[in-house]
């Protein structure tokens, strides 16, 4: 309203791109079904699907923590996949759950899927009927709206917990954030999973304990040294395992390894 009444020369959404559209029609992709075509499409399809699923699950986790409810993740993923396949036959592009839109719905009081359907219906109305109103919105107003949304969904207590959480968790958060900005969310999550897995393996390798005890007449009338182990035994803990059990210094001829 201020831009229109004062005739301020500023860019609007319509200056960047048009949001006007029509109702979709049934459309079958006109591409050859060959191995070369599938090999070309597959990397992009997998990348887009991974980003969509990751963002959907992250959004679902955030909404569940706010509403204190638990939704079915597998149902959401299956429904999203079916909808995206159907969208392709209607000439549209795939989509996923968005944190910004979901937070707007939650903060407005939405607690059921009716809020998502209402938002979709409103978007359809704006695109088909009210596109002129959307295109008249100044970019400055849109930027301000996005900044307020960022401040609203930003967890400000993250920096307060830096000194209280393990350093490996801080490294994972920093790495995922940096890689997301530099590449995309799928690559960032993959890097975060690798770092978290290595960290877990290192910590698990240090949690192996052994207790030695001697049992008389345990094997053919001979005494045996019984080593009782607790903790995970895998490739990462083999070094500590070798330090805890040294056959060359064992006095008993029979050794029993008891894993709990």
CA distance to 14, 204, 233, 258, per residue, from 228 (Å):
73, 18, 12, 5
* Cα–Cα distance for residue pair 21/251, rounded to 1 Å: 84
In the numeric block, the tokens 């030695």 are attached to 212
pLDDT per residue rounded down to tens, the chain (260 residues): 677 777 777 888 888 888 888 888 888 878 788 888 888 889 888 888 888 888 888 888 888 888 888 888 888 889 989 999 998 888 888 888 887 788 888 888 888 888 888 888 988 898 888 888 888 888 888 888 888 877 777 777 777 777 788 888 888 888 988 998 898 777 888 898 899 888 888 888 888 888 888 888 777 777 888 888 888 888 778 888 888 887 777 777 788 788 76
pLDDT value, residue 98? 82
DSSP 138: B
What tokens appear for 244 in the block? 């805890």
Query: Phi and psi of 69, rounded to 5°?
Result: -130, 165
Name the pTM for this structure: 0.62
Q: What is the pLDDT of residue 1?
A: 64
Within a 13 Å sphere around the CA of 239, how many CA atoms are in the beta-carbon half? 5
């Amino acid at each position: 309203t201020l831009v229109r009444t004062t005739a301020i020369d500023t860019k609007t959404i319509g200056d960047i791109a048009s949001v006007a559209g029509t109702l979709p029609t049934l459309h079958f992709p006109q591409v050859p079904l060959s191995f070369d075509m599938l090999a070309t499409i597959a990397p992009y399809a997998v990348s887009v699907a991974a980003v969509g699923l990751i963002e959907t699950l992250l959004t679902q986790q955030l909404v569940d923590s706010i509403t204190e409810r638990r939704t079915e993740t597998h149902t959401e993923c299956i429904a999203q996949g079916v909808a995206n396949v159907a969208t392709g036959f209607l000439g549209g592009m795939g989509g996923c759950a968005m944190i910004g839109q979901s937070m707007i719905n939650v903060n407005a009081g939405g607690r059921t899927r009716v809020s998502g359907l209402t938002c979709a219906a409103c978007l359809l109305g704006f695109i088909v009927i009210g596109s002129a109103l959307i295109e008249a919105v100044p970019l400055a107003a849109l930027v301000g709206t996005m900044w307020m949304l960022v401040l609203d969904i930003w967890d400000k207590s993250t920096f307060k917990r830096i000194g209280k959480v393990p350093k490996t968790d801080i490294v994972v958060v920093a790495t995922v954030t940096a890689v997301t900005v530099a590449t995309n969310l799928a690559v960032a999550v993959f890097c975060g999973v690798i770092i978290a897995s290595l960290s877990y393996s290192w910590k698990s390798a240090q949690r192996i304990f052994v207790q030695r005890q001697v049992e008389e007449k345990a094997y053919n009338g001979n005494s045996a040294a019984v080593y009782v182990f607790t903790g995970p035994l895998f490739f990462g803990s083999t070094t500590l395992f070798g330090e805890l059990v040294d056959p060359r210094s064992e006095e008993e001829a029979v050794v029993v390894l008891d894993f709990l």
